[in-house]
Amino acid sequence: MELFPIIPAGGILALLVALYMTSSVLKEDTGPKEMQVIAAAIREGAMAFLNRQYRTIAGLALIVAVLLALLTRQYHTAIAFITGAFASALSGYIGMYVAVNANLRVAAGARKSLNKALTVAFRGGAVTGLAVTALSLLGVTILFYAFGGATNPTQAPLDIVGFGFGASFVALFAQLGGGIYTKAADVGADLVGKVEAGIPEDDPRNPAVIADLVGDNVGDCAGRGADLFESTAAENIGAMILGIALVPVFGVKGIIFPLVARAAGIIASIIGMFFVKAEEDQDPMAALNRGYIVTSILAIVFLYPISRYMLSGPGVNFIYFYGAGIIGIVLSFIFVLITQYYTSYDYRPVKEIARASITGPATNIISGVAVGFESTALPVVFISLAILGAYWLGLKSGLPGGGLYGTAVATMGMLSTAAYILAMDTYGPITDNAGGIVEMSGAPEEVRRRTDRLDASGNTTKALTKGYAIGSAALATFLLFSAYIDEVKIALNIKGNFPVDIGKPEVFVGAFIAAMMVLLFSSTAIRAVGNAAQYVILEVRRQFKEIPGIMEGTAKPEYGACVDIVTRGALKEMVLPGLIAVITPIIVGLVLKAEAAAAFLMVGTITGVIVALFLNNGGGAWDNAKKYIELGNYGGKGSEAHKAGVVGDTVGDPFKDTAGPSLHVLVKLISTITLVLARLFI
């Protein structure tokens, strides 16, 4: 039974299905001219931003690649870095192109039926999920064999660590730039449009409305796609490095296992995607959950023969590693449930914030902060249980030192559904855009009701994906920390343990700086949104004042001016937090050396995960508390509670869509940087 061909087969199949879904989306009806004009403006703005952003990132990436070649004196590392950066950017382009063409087709499909709109939206999202995971898998595989994996499999994983660094580098700036853009536009549109002018969301009289709709794409499509691209790439490489020590027991199978598991997960996701269908009176979330359940069950089924074939050896019982993989898949389910509890208005935390809004913005903010802090507890408990459980199963397998590999298998399990999860995530901004197009084009109320139902489920999927992303980041960085320790041991020719003694001053300082860096990075990312939002607010106020007839609907706002202003502001503001994330771990490693870098990596991961949970869940809870009030609770739209809810939502926006998601990338970026430069820290 030879499973290795499943690797290219899974990647190529994913690309073929992505092409099929792209074709099926583009063939759909584009609706009336009014819709087409609005969609064209969104598409033009989104692609213009992406082009300018990636030109900026490309310049920074070339500088880093040259420095890597000079510092490491290994051309493999620089080539792998550039390849990872290019593949990450390509996946972002593919996803963005389909998303900004799918939104119009979803709006037009909603004129016919809910299922038609749902199918088009999900297939548009599926293209991103499949393109990201396929390019990640194929990129790592091609580099592995190009760098001698067939003849020297124990060296090749060490030569391709730059691929993960390149992917992380692009992901950080893509998430930062997109997150700053989307929230600056959103805050500007809401504060001047909703609060000051008193006009509804997505009202065509708002000069920032197109910029807001563009932001949904550049923040949630391109940004999250880059996030999960680097997750799958970095974790594959980290697990392959851990597999080097297992060659005497498993042979090359221990190194290749992560790639085979990833290919099987992609195939499971493809099958699950075709189960997403809904009746007119059915909750769209039920259809999405059905596909997710099918994907997860198939991932569990596929993992069994793969584990049996690849993780069996003399005295080693594969069933324990299979159990570790199931732990990872179950953890992803648990994270989805926890995130839903803290961010959905069906449950106590969001209702608590909505109720606190009755007495004004101050109590809304206090309640939201409290919910955000509370929401960190359960995820940390379950991540800890998953790591301990997977480690224990690895030890029980009979494999010497099998505990760490057990956590690697758990990580592979959690990421096995990544293609489907990312499809659900991109579905969110597509449906959000469709709702905006329907609103601005003056479509009938029945059409708006359908897109509202899709948008509500899209808000849920975006929140769930953030929980999934930070959960996988936590498991992944433990795996990458172990891979870093392994590389240091290889460089120092250490056969036993490499202890990290927090009692040493330089090691303590390294850990201390890591915790500080996470908070400093979050501060600069949030401030960047505030700075960029000010440009938008001033421009919207100017247009309301200087262009007579906007409020009466007799004059058209200058949408392009807002798009251009927020684009320039976002690209300018993303540089400082990005540089902080890249430079700090390098300085710590070069000055304080390998043991301090290990402490930096460990404490940076812990702090980053907890702060990201606080920001993601707190921001999501504020958002849905506002939506809960808008449904007619506590006075409904226009009430004092609603005004307080809008303020809370505005505070939470940069938390959940800029700083929080960027921290997912940060914790993996510092892992890949230390992994690439480990030998310089000796």
Q: What is the 3-state secondary structure (H, E, C) of 391-448?
A: HHHHHHCCCCCHHHHHHHHHHHHHHHHHHHHHHHHHHHHHHHHHHHHHHHHCCCHHHH
The CA angle 50-55-58, to the nearest 5 degrees, is 120
Contact 614, 378 (CB under 8 A): no
- CA 63 centroid distance within chain: 25
Q: Is 634 left (phi over 0), alpha (psi -120 to 50) or beta?
A: left
Q: Is 57 left (phi over 0), alpha (psi -120 to 50) or beta?
A: alpha
With a CB cutoff of 8 Å and minimum separation 6, the contacts of 16 are none
- CA 1 centroid distance within chain: 35
Contact 475, 379 (CB under 8 A): no
- Unique residue bearing structure tokens 């608590």: 352
Helices (H), 311-417: 318-343, 348-356, 361-374, 377-396, 402-414
What is the predicted pLDDT for the residue at 195?
66
Q: For 122-136, write each residue's pLDDT tens digit.
A: 999 899 889 889 999
Residue 652 CA to residue 449 CA, distance in Å, equals: 26
Q: Burial letters for 371-399: b for 16+ Cβ neighbours within 10 Å, e otherwise?
A: bbebbbebbeebbeebbebbbbbbbbbeb
- Unique residue bearing structure tokens 């950080």: 172
Of 593, 632, 336, nearest to 461 by C-alpha is 336
DSSP conformational letter for 202: T
What is the predicted pLDDT for the residue at 432?
83
What is the predicted pLDDT for the residue at 362?
94
Contact 661, 616 (CB under 8 A): yes
What is the predicted pLDDT for the residue at 303?
94
Q: For 124-167, write each residue's pLDDT tens digit.
A: 989 988 988 999 999 999 999 888 888 888 888 888 888 888 88
- Which DSSP helix (H) or strand (E) runs through 497? none
With a CB cutoff of 8 Å and minimum separation 6, the contacts of 108 are 28, 29, 30, 31, 35
What is the predicted pLDDT for the residue at 1?
41
Contact 672, 164 (CB under 8 A): yes
Residue 30 CA to residue 18 CA, distance in Å, equals: 20
Query: Which amino acid is present at 232?
Result: T
Residues pairing with 436 in the sheet: none
Query: Which amino acid is present at 165?
Result: F
Q: Which parts of the chain sit beneath pLDDT 50?
A: 1
Is the sign of the CA dihedral 547, 553, 554, 558 positive or negative? positive
At residue 516, what are phi and psi to the nearest 5 degrees? -65, -40
340 burial via Cβ count (<10 Å: 0-12, 13-18, 19+): middle
Contact 330, 382 (CB under 8 A): no
Terminal Cα distance for the chain, rounded: 43
552 burial via Cβ count (<10 Å: 0-12, 13-18, 19+): exposed
Residue 407 CA to residue 478 CA, distance in Å, equals: 8
Contact 288, 34 (CB under 8 A): no
Helices (H), 73-149: 75-109, 114-146
242 burial via Cβ count (<10 Å: 0-12, 13-18, 19+): buried
- Which DSSP helix (H) or strand (E) runs through 111? none
Residue 196 CA to residue 191 CA, distance in Å, equals: 6
With a CB cutoff of 8 Å and minimum separation 6, the contacts of 332 are 296, 413, 414, 417, 421, 468, 471, 472
